[in-house]
Chain A
Amino acid sequence: MSQPTLTSTGQAVPLPEGLPGIVADWSSDQRAFKRVPWGKAMMWIFLLSDTFIFSCFLISYMTVRMSTTEPWPNPSEVFSLTLWGAKIPLILIAIMTFVLISSSGTMAMAVNYGYRKDRTKTFVLLLLTAAMGATFVGMQAFEWTKLIVDEGVRPWSNPLGAAQFGSTFFMITGFHGTHVSIGVIFLIIVAIKVLRGDLDRQTPGFLTGRKGNYEIVEIMGLYWHFVDLVWVFIFAFFYLW
């Protein structure tokens, strides 16, 4: 069970809000992030660093796209699919976006049911999230195959126009796909922990040895929503721009 704030006053001290709250939190000679388990604060710090990594990729992409003298391939056409005899622009990417957003929705609900100690619902929702993540990666594999095999796009050249299209595409979507794949693996691990009741019994984790609790579902959720968040930016800047 979680502990009340550790002070000698016998009960939790009320925390000021607003700017005085920031000053009070940082000058308290205790942990600075109140009401947040340290694991969650550390996940946020990691996500901040990951934000900078993805931003470096996207800004590099902007730089090479702005500076190339070759025409940039039109993503709307490159990622179109012929469905039922009609060519629909960018449809594959749109479906991938909806799949990832839906997985974020189920993840948010898994966190909620986790804190309510509803093990079955949390497990099912986590597994559903993982399934949608795997679907996303599968569709990405399909997209890569189509581009590499059918269109002849390579990281160093491509027949559609600027060579930089291939390099930035494989770099950015590859890195994002790796994040999704790692997320799917961890979702399955957390789902199994939830189903077995490890989090209720506070069983130590096999990797960290930390006592199990439902905060890890929320921390997992932060990572998963971040993956969705990055996709929002990739979708806007790479596929729609």
Chain B
Amino acid sequence: MAHAEGQQHPIGIYLKIWGLLFVLSTASYLVDYFHLQGYLRWTLIVVLMLLKAGLIVAVFMHMLWERLALLYVIVVPPVLLLVLLGIGALEADYTFLTRAVFFVQRLL
């Protein structure tokens, strides 16, 4: 079997994903263009971002057709970053609080 290890897919799938990425990027640009604010803005940004990232990894990087042994090794560890995200947010809130207290005291 020649090139059993190569990824061979019809060209059409790449063009479709390409088009979809354009649509999603335009949508995320429009979020800013129409000045959406608050939770609506943040939700849309994150959802569109995750959709784009998913399409790139799944189709352009061929993760969709790889064996689960590789998929899990690459996709599961980044979930740990959510812990770092949480720690960063806690730390930031605390720093902001101490700064606010300090600057208010200096004003008095």
Residues in A lying within 8 Å of B, measured CB to CB: 1-2, 4, 12, 15, 17-19, 21-22, 25-26, 32-37, 41, 44-45, 47-48, 51-52, 55-56, 59-60, 62-69, 76, 89-90, 94, 97-98, 101-102, 104-105, 107-109, 111-112, 115-116, 214-215, 218, 221-222, 225-226, 228-229, 232-233, 235-237, 239-241
Contacts and interface: CB of A to CB of B under 8 A. Distances in A.
A97 B62 CA distance: 21
A62 B85 CA distance: 8
A21 B8 CA distance: 22
Contacts of A4: 1, 4
B24 to A, nearest CB: 9
Nearest to B71: A22
Contacts of B1: 4, 12
Contacts of A33: 67, 69-70, 73
Given A63-B89, A222-B61, 5 more contacts: A12-B1, A35-B4, A36-B67, A66-B92, A240-B41
Contacts of B77: 48, 52
Given A15-B67, A21-B69, A34-B69, A97 B14 contact: no
A115 B2 CA distance: 11
B67 A218 contact: no
Given A66-B96, A108-B60, A44 B70 contact: yes
Nearest to B66: A36
Contacts of A214: 6
Q: Determine chain B's interface SS by DSSP, over half rule.
A: helix
Interface in B67-92: 67-70, 72-74, 77-78, 81, 84-85, 88-89, 91-92
19 contacts: A2-B3, A2-B4, A12-B1, A21-B67, A36-B67, A52-B78, A52-B81, A59-B84, A60-B88, A63-B91, A66-B89, A67-B91, A68-B99, A69-B96, A76-B35, A104-B56, A108-B60, A240-B28, A241-B42
A229 B56 contact: yes
A127 B99 CA distance: 51
B108 interface: no
Contact of A34 (B21, B67, B72, B78): B67
A104 B57 CA distance: 11
Contact of A35 (B9, B41, B56, B67): B67
A159 B48 CA distance: 32
A57 to B, nearest CB: 12
A53 to B, nearest CB: 11
A73 to B, nearest CB: 14
Contact of B14 (A12, A62, A109): A109
A215 to B, nearest CB: 7
B49 to A, nearest CB: 4
B46 to A, nearest CB: 7
A32 B74 contact: no
A55 B66 contact: no
B39 interface: no
